[in-house]
């Protein structure tokens, strides 16, 4: 996801070019109302078939043909997903340790005494999970938690954790809490439980820090980008990011710089305060003119500061751009006219809502899936084809995850034991078994059944 879709700097850049217009333009007046009654003809096929997409604690309805890309996310700390890379944990671990050792030469002896975990690797609570300690600023810890879930790898990390014992205990506790709760989520799955949807995963947790970003592009209109950022506030609101205030300051700055001729060419299609469900924010719909190598294009934005410490009313930033090519704004002529751009904007933004149990994916045909996180003891029959995780550390199979098919008996956990002298001479590796509990962490990729209500 391009950083320009979410950066406040972009707001300032737009505002510095923009000004409040008189509002007397007849064409502008016809577009003041935020409620679109019907779609223009060219957009009707686009929304003939839609699907619901989960992001954070929210959902949005998008065209079936749209491409959805998850951007940066935070669940207490930043987290990223790497599909089909669970087996590459040793490679990634080696790369991290190489960088950490390169940083060691910048540390003094006192630094190493203050950060005794520097360069250390410890096991997490999930089999195969590794936590690696380094330091990027030579004053605080950087910590990476590598989490294998099914065939995917999730990397959970912070860049600046204080070296105090209490802070390290808190961070490690957060990493393990996320690792033990995280389950894989297919792109089409909408959980009915409370929790946070991230790229390929779901966390049924209440978290202090939450952030999700999402980008949507359209096969039918490839120059159009739509993006969402939802960032939970802590104990205060970021008043400095208020779009209305930034816009007014940008107008004043632009007027001081004598850009009146440019102002006359900017068309304000709609602007002002807007209540969008539980979000009270500011909406700004502009059509920018040709300017220094940029084509005329639409720049739409809605921003709400949200509420303090409220996961269901985070700071919300929604943006739509037309004329985008190779991730560059106003690079080509937009494929949408004003009315179509506003209709697309309105249809998408009005469908953003808090996820309800009724949004959860329903059973449509075939046998229903068992819920992720289901526990089953060894010796019982597997009730769901997929990836199951053993709760015993050190079991054979590396990360403790194995693939079982429906009806297969779940085995005991197997361990290597210490070899006696004769077994060592013969190269034997004696094993023992122990009853265990298996947890369903990922569905089989070829399965077409749906999740239970």
Confidence label for 215 from pLDDT (cuts 50, 70 and 90): very high
pLDDT above 60 for 194: yes
Would you state the pLDDT for residue 417? 64
pLDDT exceeds 80 at position 407: no
Mean pLDDT of 301-318: 96
* Alpha-carbon gap, residue 334 to 101, rounded angstroms: 50
- The pLDDT score that the predictor gives to residue 254 is 65
Q: What is the pLDDT at residue 264?
A: 65
The arithmetic mean of pLDDT across residues 294-308, rounded, is 95
Q: Is 30 a residue whose pLDDT tops 50?
A: no
| pTM of structure | 0.77
* pLDDT for res 445: 55
Average pLDDT over residues 373-401: 75
**Res. 401 pLDDT band, cuts 50 70 90:** confident
Query: Percentage of residues in the chain with pLDDT exceeding 90?
Result: 59
Look at residue 447 and tell me whether its pLDDT is greater than 80: no
- Amino acid 187: pLDDT: 86
Q: Give residue 235's pLDDT.
A: 92
405 band by pLDDT with thresholds 50, 70 and 90: confident
* Closest by Cα among 86, 117, 279, 40 to 179: 86
Each residue's pLDDT tens digit, 226-272: 999 999 999 999 877 678 777 777 666 666 666 666 666 788 899 99
Residue 348: pLDDT band with limits 50, 70, 90:
very high
The phi and psi torsions of 138 (rounded to 5 degrees) equal 65, 20
- Reported confidence tier of residue 420, pLDDT bands at 50, 70, 90: low
Q: Answer whether residue 321 shows pLDDT above 70.
A: yes
Residue 242: predicted pLDDT: 75
* Mean pLDDT, rounded, for 117-123: 96
**Taking 90 as the threshold, does the pLDDT of residue 364 lie above it?**
no
Phi, psi of 251 (to 5 degrees): -65, -45
Which range scores top for mean pLDDT: 117-131, 356-370, 375-389?
117-131
Q: How many CA atoms lie within 13 A of 7 on its CB side?
A: 9
pLDDT per residue over 64-86, tens digit each? 999 999 999 999 999 999 999 99
Of residues 31 and 320, which shows the higher confidence score?
A: 320
Q: What pLDDT was estimated at residue 419?
A: 60
> What average pLDDT does the segment 300-306 reach?
96
When the pLDDT of each residue in the chain is averaged and rounded to a whole number, the result is 83
Reported confidence tier of residue 436, pLDDT bands at 50, 70, 90: confident
Q: Which of 142-146, 277-281, 388-392 has the lowest mean pLDDT?
A: 388-392
Give the model's pLDDT for residue 452: 37
User: Would you place residue 430 in the very low, low, confident or very high pLDDT band (cuts 50, 70, 90)?
Assistant: low
* pLDDT above 60: residue 328: yes
Q: What is the average pLDDT across 151-156?
A: 96
pLDDT of residue 23 exceeding 80, the answer is no
| Model confidence at 90: pLDDT above 60 | yes
């Amino acid at each position: 996801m391009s950083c320009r879709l979410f950066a406040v700097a972009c707001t300032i850049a737009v505002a510095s070019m923009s000004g409040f217009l008189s509002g007397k333009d007849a064409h502008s007046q016809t577009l003041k109302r935020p409620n679109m009654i019907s779609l223009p003809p060219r957009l009707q096929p686009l929304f003939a078939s839609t699907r619901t997409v989960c992001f954070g604690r929210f959902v949005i309805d998008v065209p079936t043909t749209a491409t959805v890309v998850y951007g940066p996310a935070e669940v207490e700390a930043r987290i990223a997903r790497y599909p089909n890379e669970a087996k590459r944990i040793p490679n990634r671990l080696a790369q991290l340790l190489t960088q950490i050792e390169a940083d060691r030469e910048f540390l003094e002896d006192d630094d190493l005494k203050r950060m005794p975990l520097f360069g250390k690797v410890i096991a997490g609570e999930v089999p195969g999970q590794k936590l690696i300690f380094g330091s990027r600023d030579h004053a605080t810890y950087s910590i990476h938690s590598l989490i294998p879930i099914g065939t995917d790898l999730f990397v959970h990390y912070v860049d600046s954790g204080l070296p105090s014992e209490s802070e390290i205990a808190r961070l490690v506790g957060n990493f393990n809490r996320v690792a033990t709760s995280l389950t894989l989520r297919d792109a089409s799955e909408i959980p009915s439980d409370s929790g946070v949807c991230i790229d390929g995963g779901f966390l049924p947790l209440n978290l202090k820090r939450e952030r999700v970003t999402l980008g949507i592009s359209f096969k039918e209109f490839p120059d159009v980008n739509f993006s969402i950022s939802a960032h939970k506030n802590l104990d205060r609101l970021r008043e400095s990011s208020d779009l209305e205030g930034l816009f007014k300051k940008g107008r004043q700055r632009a007027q001081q710089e004598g850009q009146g001729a440019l102002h006359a060419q900017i068309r304000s299609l709609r602007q002002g305060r807007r209540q969008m469900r539980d979000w009270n924010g500011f909406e700004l719909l502009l059509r920018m003119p040709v300017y220094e190598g940029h084509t005329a294009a639409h720049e739409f934005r809605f921003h709400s500061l949200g509420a303090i410490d409220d996961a269901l009313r985070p700071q919300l930033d929604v943006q739509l751009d037309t004329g985008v090519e190779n991730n560059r704004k106003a690079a080509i002529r937009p494929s949408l006219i004003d009315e179509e751009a506003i209709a697309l904007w309105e249809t998408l933004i009005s469908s953003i809502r808090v996820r309800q149990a009724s949004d959860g994916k329903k059973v449509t045909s075939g046998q229903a899936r068992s819920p992720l996180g289901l526990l089953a003891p060894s010796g019982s029959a597997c009730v769901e084809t997929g990836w199951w995780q053993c709760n015993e550390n050190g079991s054979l199979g590396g990360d403790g995850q194995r693939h079982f098919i429906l009806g297969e008996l779940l085995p005991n956990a197997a361990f290597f034991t210490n070899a006696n002298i004769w077994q060592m001479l013969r190269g034997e590796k004696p094993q023992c078994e122990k009853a265990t509990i298996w947890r369903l962490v990922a569905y089989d990729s070829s399965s077409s059944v749906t999740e239970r209500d």
